């Protein structure tokens, strides 16, 4: 009888603690590092933009942070506003799944991909890209 009572007390205590004692699931916060020299940062929705002095977007960062995996994407743009490169980092509970850099030509075609890709991650690099948000100026 006492074992049952102890189990019930422990269960009630732990279930009450779980409701308010666990931290919330963290939201992805794009890189908190200071922007590169001459660039200013702003956040539009769930993306972080790095803009040069003339107002052109040079980098766009986005991603997801979950308890068991993290995805981080950084897209780079040339002075004409064309996509020039991308870096994708994705890790799961079992380790790194993707750590790839891609380079694009002036027509937007992927010309080079380097880095590590787990053998089961076959999704094209272009599928991780996001378009620039409307009114992208900071």
Q: What is the pLDDT of residues 72-96, one digit of tens each?
A: 999 999 999 899 999 999 999 889 9
Please state, rounded to an integer, the average pLDDT across all residues of the chain.
Answer: 80
CA 67/CA 22 separation, integer angstroms? 12
pLDDT at position 16: 47
CA gap 48, 61 in Å, rounded: 5
pLDDT of residue 6: 54
Of the ranges 33-37, 43-47, 74-78, the best mean pLDDT one: 74-78
Between CA 52 and CA 105 the distance in angstroms is 21
Which pLDDT score is estimated for 18? 42
Which pLDDT score, from 0 to 100, does residue 33 have? 57
Residue 22: is its pLDDT beyond 50? no
- Angstrom distance (rounded) from CA 75 to CA 85: 6
> What is the per-residue pLDDT for 25?
46
Extract the tokens encoding 2: 């006492």
Q: Place 132 in a pLDDT band, splitting at 50, 70 and 90.
A: confident
Q: Which carries the bigger pLDDT value, residue 55 or residue 60? A: 60
Q: Is the pLDDT of residue 114 over 60?
A: yes
């Amino acid at each position: 009888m006492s074992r049952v009572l102890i189990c019930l007390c422990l269960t009630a205590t732990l279930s009450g603690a779980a409701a308010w004692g666990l931290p919330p699931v963290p939201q992805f916060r794009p890189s908190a590092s200071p922007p590169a020299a001459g660039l200013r940062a702003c956040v539009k929705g769930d993306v972080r933009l790095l803009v040069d002095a003339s107002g052109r977007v040079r980098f766009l960062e986005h991603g997801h942070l979950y308890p068991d995996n993290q995805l981080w994407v950084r897209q780079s743009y040339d002075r004409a506003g064309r996509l020039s490169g991308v870096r994708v980092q994705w890790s799961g509970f079992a380790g790194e799944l993707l750590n790839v850099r891609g380079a694009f030509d002036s027509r937007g075609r992927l010309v080079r991909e380097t880095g590590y890709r787990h053998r089961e991650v076959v999704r094209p690099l272009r599928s991780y890209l996001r378009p620039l948000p409307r009114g992208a100026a900071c």
